[in-house]
Copies of this chain bind each other. A is one copy, B any other.
Amino acid sequence: MINICETKAMQAVVYEGPFSISVKEQPKPVILAESDAILKVQVTGICGSDLHMYRGHQKTTTGHTMGHEFIGIVEDIGSEVSRFKVGQRVMPIFSPMCMNCWFCEHGYTNRCTNGPSFGSMALNVGQSEYVRVPYAESTLEAIPDEVSPEQMIIMCDIFPTGYYGAMKALMKLKNGRETAESIVGGTLYAPSVLQPSFKQQPLILGNGTVYAVDSVEDRLEEARKMGAIPLNLDTDDIPAIVKSVTGGRGADAVVESVGNQAALKLAFDVVRPCGVISSIGFHQSGFPFTGFEAYSKNIDINMGRAAVRPVFGEGLKVFAENQDKFADFITHRMPLAEAPKAYEIFEKRQARKVVLTL
């Protein structure tokens, strides 16, 4: 029910400025529209993209709650929400989507005109005890029985975002009018090769091989377990290796999921002429290549936030089938009160994935 008079407080992870966060009181959210739901959060994740704000690269205000990955129990619900009920365990798909604007109606839920982002001044909830979820009917998903609730943190953003980035790249290769079917290598490009689609930078080669690029050995080892060939950004000559395994051409497609100029530059350097860059990293600055270079290489690039809703179902299916490979993916579990420490170790790459528990 709508109750705009309630002004209780809750604990939340608040952005105070670069490298400065605190856990402090914020207003406990209440139902503001009949399409809202209020969740009592049980576990919330720190995403790689939260680091853009933490490091001060993302220009933003201060004083608001951070985060957009969380699992919670429905505590209150507006009258227009029929898919969920109080007491049910649910999770958001990345960011709120109204499903009524032109963009949502056409599948571009990533650019919903009406949905504010979690972890912002406009929607001051996320890594907090309670969350108001606008457009709950379309923004939330139930937690399936076969996946552990904690594991589903991975499905809030990083897995479906990586999945979207890889699918976008593969579709372009497959559907490119000038592309022979033979490039794609048939079933080699099935989702089974796309599992290393968390926040790393996979290079996809025409024979179905996936190379995963990172500078953290622990993450590269995870990628290797999932079937990718790991390349270390600090110690491997990545352009040379990619050239050597592609007859000098370069990778057919690169999924760039980091969101800085160095990563996009590497993607450009290793992709072959007429290849595809699928960039899902949250970019904050300029372009690391020129129009002349892009023309000369006939580059095909898509950029921006993933449209997770359209791929969530198939992404979840792949994730559920392979959840054993993610059994050790979350390396750190810390109470919400220790969020400053959790951000610190995650930023220093001392953790693969950190969740905060409540």
Binding site for B on A (CB under 8 A): 102-103, 105-111, 167-168, 171-172, 175-180, 182-183, 247, 249, 259, 261, 264, 273-274, 279, 281-292, 294-305, 307, 310-311
Contact = CB atoms under 8 A, between A and B. Distances in A.
A138 to B, nearest CB: 15
A20 B347 CA distance: 57
A177 B310 contact: yes
B298 A179 contact: no
A291 B261 CA distance: 8
Q: Copy number in this complex?
A: 2
Given A282-B295, A287-B294, A295-B304, 17 more contacts: A102-B249, A107-B180, A108-B298, A111-B273, A111-B298, A171-B177, A177-B310, A274-B304, A279-B295, A283-B290, A284-B292, A294-B304, A298-B304, A299-B302, A299-B303, A300-B302, A300-B303
Contacts of A171: 175-177
A299 B282 CA distance: 13
A105 B290 contact: no
Nearest to A259: B295
Nearest to A298: B304
Contact of A274 (B108, B172, B177, B286): B108
